[in-house]
Chain A
Amino acid sequence: MKTITYKLISGILAITVLCGCNRQNRTAGGGKQVVVGVSLLNLSSEFIVMLNEAMEAKAGELGVKLVVNDAQRSAERQIQQVEGFIAQQVDVIILNPCEVDASSPAVDKALAAGIPIINLNSATQSTPTAFVGSHDEESARIAMEYIAKRLNGQGNVVMMQGFMGQAAQLKRDQGAREILAKNPGINLLACQSAEWDRAKAMSLMENWIQSHGTKINAVFAQNDEMGMGALLALERGKLKDKVILISIDAIADALQAVKSGRLDATVFQDAKGQGATAVEVAAKIARKEPYERETFIPFQLVTKENAGNPR
């Protein structure tokens, strides 16, 4: 019995030492390789997939090792993942928060453990070491301003909201309503959630066409998925040439639709810029170089004129 225990303990010790050596050996171009833990909001969303690809590309370029976890929209899972990164003693954590409040404990825990943490794409209540992303309100402001301009400040608009209560929905609502308040001639005819979903957006648009018909002058969908759904319903209702339609994110489908003149405009959120910058900042922090505490990547209106090359 005793010998087995000894063997076990020495075995475990040996493995630990080996692992330890292994850890020391992880070198790339001189210094110790930087390991960055990444917790992403949801890898089944196209925008987050693009963000991830940009990060992987930049990490390869800088010789940084990424450990990517998918929180699948759950703030609770996200906190567990950050706890895992703390246990693994990664050099820096990049957090793509699920929720404003509910993901805050992840930031607090990392900071308490002395591991720098970068918030990517959206904010949390707690202040991280650095922030890379965009003001979500701005995207909706750009969209609503576009509508106001196209309608010359007069007309009826309907707004399709995202999943109620999520940060992106709340902020895009806020941004849109700021512009509506400045344009008293623009009337918000109806406002409902299609839960970021193309099929739901299509049904909702069909119902709106039914209840408001030709009174609708413009549609603002809070993401491109819903924008594409609304577009299909408007086209089937033979109303597209009478209605202005804009959505946000500039996913591949939407860009294609803008190029071919079906969708009036989308607002480009720079996944590549955001992902690459976050990894750059992480590498700088890990190598104790000076870094930007806040980097705001601007949104950009994409219409038929510039649809070929939004950066």
Chain B
Amino acid sequence: MSADPKALYQEVILDHNKKPRNYGTLEHASHHADGLNPLCGDHIHVTLNLEGDALQAIAFHGESCAICKASASMMTMAVKGKSRNEAEQLIHAFVDMATGRTSPGATVNAGPPLPAMARLSVFSGIRDLPMRVKCAILPWHTLQAALDSQASTSTEAQNDPMHTPMGDA
């Protein structure tokens, strides 16, 4: 283990755990999905409104650890108001960072860094905790499932497009 895992539990993550933003359920959501990590029982429900190409509103709720809840909370802030394409870019950038495939701030296809990733880089230390990577990426998974109009997703699903063997991290 290269980094101090304690460093992960810094103020911003603890703050989002205590006071999660966009917490709840959108009543007339155009898209929604349930995300489950059967290994630890984390459970996240994401609802969102896609108007045309724009992600107008998003909310989440669920039962999860601090890493998962803070990740979900910061995710909703990062993608709200973005286009579907921008949201999907962020999903990939976040997963790549959390699994250690890229350094913080980098983007897919080596494009210019996504500004929203700067704030999310507080999660970069998760790559050193292979057992916890899935806690951080579950909300992003679930967002992707909602955008794809899948009702549910699981970190252990065989056909999961974002399935990430833990050995990667």
Chains A and B come from one and the same complex: no
Chain A residues in the interface with B (C-beta under 8 A): none
Chain B residues in the interface with A (C-beta under 8 A): none
